[in-house]
Amino acid sequence: MSTENLTNLPSVAQQKLESSNTYGVQSACLHDQEIPELDLFSPLKIRDLTLRNRVAMSPMCQYSAENGVANDWHFVHLGSRAVGGAGLIMVEATAVTSQGRITPGDLGIWDDAHIEPLARIARFVRQQGAVVGIQLAHAGRKASSNLPWLGGKPLTPEQGAWETVAPSSIGFNENSPVPIALDERGIEEVITAFVTATERALQAGFQMIEIHAAHGYLLHSFLSPLSNQRTDNFGGSLENRMRLLLEVARRIRATIPEGMPLFVRISATDWVEGGWDIEQSVILSRELKVLGVDLIDVSTGGLVPHAKIPVDKGYQVPFAAKIRQEAQIYTAAVGLITEAEYANQIITRGCADLVLVGRELLRDPYWPIHAQCSLDEETDWPVAYGYAVKRQKRR
């Protein structure tokens, strides 16, 4: 696909959104160029939930669970970023079935034993004033891999490998096992697994749900014609390739309270000719909006190993801007967003409604507070730290 018109961060003047409030936020053309109505530290209200700011912690796998159970590492990892000031803390890709794990170290939510360890984390995050969400996932043909620091290659039978599933019997690469093509019964079991995982997430106290349909995992692999070569109702046409994700979204929306937000992460393009692309992503986003999805979390790539991705500062932001404009739905921007001023411009220029920060939050758990400082905002230190920090500043 051509990305000629998607390589630069749009300015306010370039935005052509209608001057209305059709999807919950004033459009970019209403922003004053010097004093914008919205910025990175403006609250964001979605349904009954209000985020204290527009900085979210991107879901980042820690590969540190045992049998899918969250432990003290996850508690400190996620809790410290809530203390650090992020408005939304998103728990990493959490497998809806044991078969849907990327690695043996993935978090899971396929068993009731997973609920309380996750609930402990959710309670603490909420106590710090952040909203807590969870990303529900199934790895599909990219499952049954070793931990990344052990090479990340497909597990051998001696290492405990398990069967993988996909829309078609096409491996991720030449070294990957050939997955089992799901039949319609298997597809229904996947849908049911997402629904029961959602029910457990509600029991654990999560305040929003994100469906992971990106990065080459199961739901994304159904969307792309490169990995989906089916000839039944789940393959072929765009309508058929979207069917599984749309049904998962419909069933989850019917399961959660009306006031609870529902996000979907997509890969806006495969970065490969003949694959999934931004035009199809816009159509998908419109359909998801009709079903009650509130925000599209816009990433890219991950479907095939040979894709040439022009990784650079904010390289995925233009995709979020296009989906926001053409589908009239909230979007989140993610990918090499490390600087406070740049993150702020993404909001003030109307490119996205939420900024997801990933690796920079690993480097600096207090990135949101440091961003407030660099943008001359009032810093929001936690009470137990703020007294000492502000006292030191006066000296």
Catalytic residues: 217
DSSP bridge pairs for 154? 145
Q: Which of 355, 350, 292, 303 is nearest to 323 (CA)?
A: 350
**Nearest of 202, 193, 284, 273 to residue 246 by alpha carbon:** 284
Those residues whose C-beta lies under 8 Å from the C-beta of residue 243, and which sit 6 or more positions away, are 222, 233, 234
Interatomic CA distance for residues 49 and 136, integer angstroms: 19
- The Cα–Cα gap between 128 and 383 comes to 10
CA separation for the pair 47, 262 (Å, rounded): 10
Tokens 């990493």, residue located: 92
| Pairwise CA distance, residues 395 & 261, whole Å | 44
d(CA 385, CA 278) in angstroms, rounded, equals: 44
The burial class, CB within 10 Å (0-12 / 13-18 / 19+), for 258 is exposed
Tokens of 54: 């527009």
> How many Cα atoms are found within 13 Å in the side-chain-facing hemisphere of 130?
30
Local structure of residue 69 (DSSP, 8 states): B
CA–CA separation, 277 vs 235, rounded Å?
16
Q: Locate tokens 């996850």: which residue?
A: 74
Computed from CA positions of residues 64, 81, 37, 22, in that sequence, does the dihedral angle turn out positive or negative? Answer: positive
Q: How many CB atoms lie within 10 A of CB 274?
A: 10
Maximum separation of any 2 CA atoms in the chain, in Å: 71
Task: Label the pairing between strands 131-137 and 88-95.
Answer: parallel
